[in-house]
Structure 1
Amino acid sequence: MAVYGYARVSTTDQDLTLQEETLRNAGCDVIRTEKASGTSRNGRTELDTLMQFLRPGDTLMVTRIDRLARSIGDLQDIVRELRTKGADLKATEQPVDTSTAAGKAFLDMLGVFAEFETNLRRERQMEGIAKAKAEGVYKGRKPSIDAAEVRRLRDQEGLGATEIAKRLGIGRASVYRILEA
C-alpha cells in the first residue's frame, strides 16, 4: 500500500515546491508533478501515469482537490477510476478521504465549488473581452503566421501550399486560409 502524490500548477511560471514539500511531509513515496490546466485531463501525462500505476490499497494524495480537477465531471471520473482500482484519494489541506463517507461527501462539495470558480473566472474573462471589443480596444491574439511571407513564397518563389507549410512549420489549411483571404 503506497501513497502517491500528485502536484499541479496551471502555468509554467508557477512553482510546485510548496505542494511537493507538503506531499513529501504527508508521507508520499512518489510524487508526480506537471504544469498543465486542471480544466481537462487532456495533456496531463503525469496524472495518467499515476492512474495507470495505482494498485488496490494505494492512495493518491493531493494538497487540494482543485489541483486534481477543476471540473466535477473529471473529478467524478477520477474518483470512479480510483474506486475501480481499489485505491483511495486524500487531500492534505482539506478533509477529503474517499475511504470514509464524510470524506466522499466533502469531496463532492469541493468539486462543485472548484467547477463553479472556473465558470465564474471564464464569465469574467468573457465580460472583459466583450467590453474591450465594444470599446475597440480588444484586437485578439496577434497572428502567429506571417501572411506576407506566405504570399511571397507563393508569388515570388512559385511554391505550392504543401511546400509553404513545410518551410514555415504550419498547417496546409492555414496556408489555404491566408491565400483565400
Structure 2
Amino acid sequence: MKVRYIRVSTLTQNIERQLAKEYKDEILYIDKISGAVPFLFRPEGKKLFSEIPGKKINYLSISSIDRLGRNTLDILETIKKLHSLNVCLKVDNLGLESLMNGKENPTFKLIVSVLANVSEMERDTMLERQKEGIALAKAKGVYKGREKNTVESAEQFLAKYSTVIKHLKKDSPIPLADIAKLAECSKNTVIKVKKKLEEIEKIEASSSS
C-alpha cells in the first residue's frame, strides 16, 4: 500500500503544494505541526508508524525531505525506522527512492544526509532571526510575548528546543550541563525537556500496551 505524509507548520498553511498528481491512489497522513517536533511525537507521524503493519504499507511519499523534519538526527532515524519495517521512502522533488530492490540506495542516503543538514541550518537561521526580531521589539517596547493565562502545549514547548532533543536522543548522550551550553539554554530547561520527552514516551507506551 502507498501512502503520503504531508506536514505544514501552521493550521492556516495550504497543503496543495505537497500533493502529487497521483495522490488519489494514496492514503494521506497530514500533520500541522512544527518540523522541530520529532516525527514519532506528531499525531499523524505516530499514527502512520502504528498502521504500517496492519495496512501493509510499503511505500511512503513526501514532497521534500524537510517534511520529515528540521532535525538531521531525527530525519535519519525516521528513515532508518522506515527501512526496518521494509518501507521505501520516495522524495518527490529529488525523484529518488530510499530502497532499490529491497536494499538501501547509497545515492539517496548521501543526498538526503546533506539536505537534512541544510534543513536544520535553515531552521537555526530562522530561529536566530526570530530572536533578533524579539530583541528589537523589546528594545522598542512593543514585544508582548505569549498572552497571560494561556497554556503552552508539550509540542509547542519541545518545538523550541530541537538542539536539546537532538543531543538527548543520541545513543551516547552527553551531560545535561554540556547540552545546555550547546543549546544556549539553562540546565533546568534541558531537564524540563527531558521530563517532557519521558512523559510522552510513557503515554505512548501505555496506549500501545
- Give the TM-score normalised by structure 2: 0.61
Label 1:141 to 1:45 Cα distance change in 2 as closer, same or farther (>3 A): closer
Give distance in 1, aligned partners of 2:24 and 2:78.
21
Q: How many pairs are equivalent?
A: 142
Q: Does 1:7 align with 2:6?
A: yes
Look up the match of 2:26: 29
Could you tell me the percent identity over the aligned residues?
30
Q: Where does 1:150-165 land on structure 2 (aligned, <5 Å)?
A: none
Shift of 1:107: 0.9
The residue aligned with 1:38 is 35
Q: Which runs of 5+ in 1 are unaligned?
A: 146-181
Matched, 1:47 2:45: yes
1:20-53 per-residue CA deviation (whole Å, 9 max, x = no partner) reads 3x1x516753121121111113651111111222
Q: Which residue of 2 aligns with 1:88?
A: 88
Structure 2 SS opposite 1:38 = coil
Judging changes above 3 Å, is the alpha-carbon distance between structure 1 residues 8 and 109 closer, same or farther for their aligned structure 2 residues? Answer: same
Distance 1:118 1:133 in 2: 22
Residue segments in structure 2 that go unaligned for 5+ positions in a row: 100-104, 151-209
Give the match for residue 126 of structure 1.
Answer: 131
Between Structure 1 and Structure 2, whose CA radius of gyration is higher? 1
Separation (CA, whole Å) in 2 of partners of 1:26 and 1:128: 39
| 1:28/1:6 CA distance change after superposition, 3 Å | farther
> In 1, distance between residues paired with 2:134 and 2:67?
27
Q: Report if aligned partners of 1:95, 1:103 keep a CA contact under 8 Å in 2.
A: no
Over the aligned positions, Cα root-mean-square deviation in angstroms equals 2.1
2:110 is the alignment partner of 1:105 = yes
TM-score (norm 1): 0.70
Whole-Å separation in 2 of the counterparts to 1:77 and 1:116: 18
